[in-house]
Amino acid sequence: MELPPFLRLRPRYLPKVWGGRRLQPSSLEPIGEAWIVAGDSYVAGGALDGTTLDELARDAPLALLGRSGDDGDFPLLIKLLEATQWLSVQVHPDDALARELEGPGSRGKTEAWYVIDAAPGAELIVGLRDGARVGELESVASDSRILELLAHVPVRAGDVFFMPAGTIHAIGPGVLIFEVQQMSDITYRLFDWERPASAGRELHVAQSMHVLRNIDLMQSNRAKGNVERVVCDYFMLEELTLSGQSLARDTAGLTFHAVTALSDGVRVTVDSGSARLGAHDTVLIPSVTGSYTLSAEHAARALIVSLPVK
């Protein structure tokens, strides 16, 4: 299968009780997530219009991903999140615990966040506060006393957080976040801000505690904030500043590059043409494309997500 030099994808918008109006202003429901690159993302336009990334990963894995792929599907999920209320206090398993708790073929969920925008006073929960212990969580899980054990971190636009599986966390109101993660939706909730229990928002105290007790050294110690570049076993995330000059990049047949513009006017150029990106627009550049350049009409920023090169 021949792939074009870049792919535009159709975002999928997910209503959430904690969402807002920025991601899809026309929606009658609060939208919390826009899935901009996912296995079930549809290609928009061109000869492959309506094809999903999972289908391309199965039919043309080397051309798309640069590798065959053990699972036969697209391995990452990239999304935008808008929070106007606190998200649940939660934790995700690693690959081994996902298989143990959810069954064969399940993936864990390591992720990274880039803070696109943050209101004054906005904060995140990342790990335990100094002196707190994992064993203290179980007796206060599901009620507000758990908040006394957690580390609250103030944030501003441009902050980056690497969040390995096993990091207890929550996103606070007033933030717009770019997130890259393993293609997994396994979430275990410890506390949901005393929202009424409803289908799909149950608590998972037993599973959460099992994860926290079985991932070495309580992974909050490995969570990192304000890093310029994230490199882990599952993905790489890099921020680029474009200020007049073109920047050359190359997939080198080793990995795709997903390019998301944080500012209007970013341009992706290959030998056969170019694509102009508005703020928060994304194109996926298959591994087979090779060299390309990024430029901007004025000072702008962009994020590139790729697979780790082995």
Same fold, 77-227 and 236-306: yes
In this predicted structure, what is the pLDDT of residue 244? Answer: 78
Taking residues 44-59, what's their average pLDDT? 96
Answer yes or no: are the C-beta atoms of 9 and 43 closer than 8 Å: yes
Architecture of domain 236-306: Sandwich (2.60)
89: pLDDT strictly greater than 80: yes
In this predicted structure, what is the pLDDT of residue 69? Answer: 60
Backbone angles phi, psi at 140, to 5 degrees: -115, 0
Name residue, tokens 């599986």. Answer: 165
The mean predicted confidence, pLDDT, of the chain is 92
- Residue 275 CA to its chain's centroid (Å): 23
Element (H, E) at 65: helix 61-65
What is the percentage of the chain residues whose pLDDT exceeds 90?
80
What is the percentage of the chain residues whose pLDDT exceeds 70?
94
Q: What is the pLDDT of residues 151-197, one digit of tens each?
A: 999 999 999 999 999 999 999 999 999 999 999 989 999 999 988 76
CA pair distance 201, 284, nearest whole angstrom: 32
Q: What is the pLDDT of residues 188-232, one digit of tens each?
A: 999 999 887 665 678 999 999 999 998 854 444 445 555 568 999
Backbone angles phi, psi at 87, to 5 degrees: -75, 165
Higher pLDDT, 301 or 217: 301
- Separation in Å, CA 198 to CA 17, 20, 138, 142: 11, 20, 22, 14
Per-domain boundaries in the chain: 77-227, 236-306
Cβ neighbour number for residue 28 with a 10 Å cutoff:
7
CA pair distance 11, 45, nearest whole angstrom: 13
121: pLDDT strictly greater than 60: yes
Does the annotation count 189 as an active-site position?
A: yes
Q: What single letter denotes the amino acid at residue 69?
A: G
Query: Domain 77-227, what fold?
Result: Jelly Rolls (2.60.120)
The C-alpha torsion from 288 through 75 and 249 to 56, rounded to 10°, is 30
Q: What single letter denotes the amino acid at residue 148?
A: E
Classify the phi-psi angles of 308: left when phi > 0, otherwise alpha if psi is within -120 to 50, otherwise beta.
Answer: beta
Least confident of 80-84, 175-179, 242-246: 242-246
Closest CA relative to residue 223, chosen from 58, 92, 107, 34: 92
CA pair distance 54, 88, nearest whole angstrom: 29
Task: Please name every residue paired with 277 in a beta bridge, in sequence order, or none if there are none.
Answer: 266
In this predicted structure, what is the pLDDT of residue 220? Answer: 43
Least confident of 8-22, 117-131, 191-205: 191-205
In this predicted structure, what is the pLDDT of residue 218? Answer: 41
**Which residue in 8, 107, 189, 301 is the catalytic one?**
189
pLDDT-derived band of residue 272, with 50, 70 and 90 as boundaries?
A: confident
In this predicted structure, what is the pLDDT of residue 46? Answer: 94
